[in-house]
Homo-oligomer: A and B are copies of this chain.
Amino acid sequence: MIVQKQFFSIDSFLFEEENRRIPVKIGYETYGSLNQAKDNAILVCHFFTGTSHAAGKYQENDALPGWWDALIGPGKTIDTDRFFVICTDCLSNINFNNPNVVTTGPASINPETGRQYGMDFPIFTLKDVVKTQKLLLDSMGIQKLKYVIGPSMGGLQAFMWARHYPEMVEKLVSVVATPMMRPACLMVPNQLGIDAIMLDPAWKNGNYYDSMPPKSGLLLAFKILLTATRTDHWSHSNFGRKFTNQDSARTPFNSFSEKFLVETEIEKTVLQRMQFFDANSYIYIAKANSLFDLCENDETLEQALKKIKIPVQMIIDQSDLMFTQEQAEEARTWLSDCEVVYYNSRNGHLSCLYETDYFSSALKNFVV
């Protein structure tokens, strides 16, 4: 499936928390065709550090397809022969090195100053992100979605949809996400990742666009993120206690530059992903995750969840350390129509991307 990035502009987008308006451009992709009745649309929301490139390839010889290509495509679980699938970039998902990701963020030029926003970019929440999606759908004339689905931060957005635009969503599917951002999850990786980037002297309060970006801080933030989204079992079965330099396994290990294989492999993965990431964007999206909260005003979570009446499917990996079975069971008691599907990859949160076979048939049964 050959796909292409598209763009949607909002002349004056209101950031609710700061009550500020700025022009915003959002990257998105679509797969399949919108039917005449405009009633076959599905919204897919991406995970933290992901992009709107959810499926297909830009060119036949791309090394890898979009991140949920295993699920989305002709005849697949999310069947593009029948449905029109939309995936948008999260606000601030800019990357100045990658022309395919140009969603407005801290690295964008502030038209008022002619310079990058940096840390003057407005703080946003996932409610704002969902609103950009709503405006895109409005512009397409789509009044109802078959369902909203996403893994991790994408699942949080699905809950935001059900909470704020219930009349537009038939069903929601939350993969490896519960409708709560509990404090452990808020700390790891979000707040600790922010700390790591801000600690890097190259960060310079976010004003690094004319100099070297804070690579070391971003590397540490990504390492914290990747470690938190995996398990003891995953790293043990993949790397054990091997040293990167295999010759040194039993020779004197007397330098801080000698590393374990687990660390250098994680760094290798991270460095690939980091090419497409701006450190300030990481800070803003991590903050948006930390601020995730379904409650409005003085509502409790119980009250907020009881307002969600549409059918919900929560797909939870029992080895996930961030969005746990305990959270899912608590949420289930407050949702009026909720099915929880458990699987156990033993590999943690990231199984949502690489081991979709665990849940694809349960998903298919729910969304037919």
**Chain A contacts to B: CB under 8 angstroms:** 17-19, 119, 122-123, 181-188, 191-192, 194-196, 199-201, 216-217, 220, 223-224, 227-228, 230-236, 239-241, 250, 252-256, 259-263, 266, 283, 287, 290-291, 293, 297-298, 321-322, 324, 326-327
Contacts and interface: CB of A to CB of B under 8 A. Distances in A.
A211 to B, nearest CB: 15
Given A187-B227, A239-B183, A324-B232, A252 B19 contact: yes
B187 A263 contact: yes
Interface of A is mostly: helix
Given A18-B254, A250-B298, A326-B233, A240 B183 contact: yes
A16 to B, nearest CB: 8
B241 A293 contact: yes
A191 B263 contact: yes
A191 B227 CA distance: 11
Contacts of A192: 220, 223-224, 227
Contacts of A293: 241
B241 A187 contact: no
Contact of A199 (B216, B232, B235): B216
Nearest to A255: B123
Given A181-B241, A184-B236, A199-B217, 14 more contacts: A17-B252, A18-B254, A182-B235, A183-B235, A183-B261, A186-B241, A187-B235, A187-B262, A192-B220, A192-B227, A195-B223, A201-B201, A232-B322, A256-B283
